[in-house]
Structure 1
Amino acid sequence: MKTPSARVRKLAMFASAPVAILIAGGMVWQGSQAAFNATTRNAGSSWSTGSVTLTDDDNGAAAFHVENMVPGQSGQKCIVVTSQSNVPGEVRAYTQNLVTSKGLENRIYFDLEQGTGGSFNDCTGFTPTANEVPELPLSQLATVNRDFATGGAAWDTAGTPGETQSYRGTWRFDTTGMSQDEVNALQGARVSIDLVWELQSDNAPTP
């Protein structure tokens, strides 16, 4: 048997080096695949919105519908507002959609009180508890109480469906300081306005 020459022995030595590297690399790769692993999970997190619902007992009818009004006349009506919301919030009252005519809007004064008892068109048993909206002519009321930000008669709700708040609105036709001609000029005038109660949620529930 022949003894390998020196050149062959050198080639064999160089050839063995890559094999050793490949084997070592394979060992490292095998070691990575065998690493220990553990996890823990909190499943099912979700987010849903609450709801705010506000109704009243007017059954679609206007609280005030006064025909053939004369100077000095006045009247009042009650309404009950109900919150069916499941989140806490604040209710405020304001006016919208004032329709003017001959300056009559400057002579109809309106006042809104909060309280307990009474029902739509029937103030029997109504007991006032607060009066945050001062008596003002409709023209001024439409300016100073025109949206939620400027609204009054605030009512804080707890977020329990079925909460109620009673309100009593009182109006009067005042011609104090007017001349007879000015009063006569108001004949045939008709004004109207919307009374709005808005509920906005406030406190965020604990996550």
Structure 2
Amino acid sequence: MHHRAPRARRTALAVAVPIGLVTSLALTWGSTQAAFYASTGNAGNSWQTGSVVLDHSASGSALFASASDVALKPGLPPRSRCIRLDYTGTLPADIRMYVGTPSGSAIALDPYLVMSVERGTDVSSTTTVAADCSTGFTPTATPTYLDSATHTDAPTVETSRTLAHLRAQHADYTTGIAVNPATAPNTYMTLRITYSLKDDNGAQNKQSSATFTWEARNTP
């Protein structure tokens, strides 16, 4: 009897320690879960960029072609071609026109070709603008010629710009002719490009070619 009591106490202590630990953990877990809480969320966030979209009605065909215009000579009446520019981007845009020089192209006739760029009234997306200007183009009440700069070959008459000056002074977007500086989405513009040949013997047997480019950039 004298030796059994200590072993009993040790056994009781060994059992009591784990039970106490489990009880302590249970109380701690319970106190961790027993709390008020609230949350809020804002779902469905998304981002979308705007667009700048510009097209024209010429369907890939050149407005002017030597084969259809035949050989030019002094005394012929001015010849015009018309085009519709379609702006369907979602952002307001600044649209400009410039004259490019294709690789290896001729420019010898440039100083003798008198050329003007005129903006007509805006139309709808379904308006047919004929390339020969027979339908679809209506001048503004006061004719709107886009190249308003003063050039040495035409100090006062806006319709007397030459292709040489258009090519030299409006060769890229930065120096481009302003067609519409604040174009709203779904705007359909009309342009008429007219040329005539100077009565100058130096224009004989000469040729020129050019690329007309219209470029749109979104405004701030």
Q: 1:113-132 residue pairs with structure 2 within 5 A?
A: 113-116=118-121, 119=129, 120-122=131-133, 125-127=138-140, 128-132=143-147
Residue type of the partner of 2:215?
E
Distance in 2 (CA, whole Å) between partners of 1:24 and 1:125 is 92
**Which runs of no fewer than 5 residues in structure 2 stay unpaired?**
124-128, 150-159
Q: Which has the higher contact order (CA 8 A, sep 6+)?
A: 2
Counterpart position of 1:146: 171
Counterpart position of 1:169: 193
CA offset digits 1:151-171 (Å, max 9, x no partner): 113312222x3x211112122
Counterpart position of 2:212: 195
Structure 1 residues 144, 26: closer, same or farther in 2, change over 3 A? farther
- The residue matched to 2:31 in structure 1 has which SS? helix
Distance in 1 (CA, whole Å) between partners of 2:163 and 2:177 is 15
Counterpart position of 1:48: 48
User: Is residue 84 from structure 1 mapped to residue 109 from structure 2 by the alignment?
Assistant: no
Identity of aligned residues (%): 28
Give the TM-score normalised by structure 1: 0.69
- Equivalent of 2:71 in 68, 86, 106: 68
- The residue matched to 1:192 in structure 2 has which SS? coil
Distance in 1 (CA, whole Å) between partners of 2:210 and 2:188 is 24
Instruction: Choose between structure 1 and 2: higher strand proportion.
Output: 1
Residue type of the partner of 1:129?
T
Distance in 2 (CA, whole Å) between partners of 1:171 and 1:106 is 12
Distance in 2 (CA, whole Å) between partners of 1:57 and 1:157 is 18
Structure 1 residues 198, 49: closer, same or farther in 2, change over 3 A? same
Distance in 2 (CA, whole Å) between partners of 1:84 and 1:153 is 18
**Which runs of no fewer than 5 residues in structure 1 stay unpaired?**
none
Question: Does the 8 Å contact 1:76/1:170 carry over to 2?
Answer: yes
Answer with 74-83 or 191-200: which moved more. 74-83
- The residue matched to 2:72 in structure 1 has which SS? coil
RMSD over aligned Cα atoms: 3.6
Task: Figure out how many residues of one structure are paired with residues of the other and give that number.
Answer: 193
Offset of residue 193 of structure 1: 0.8
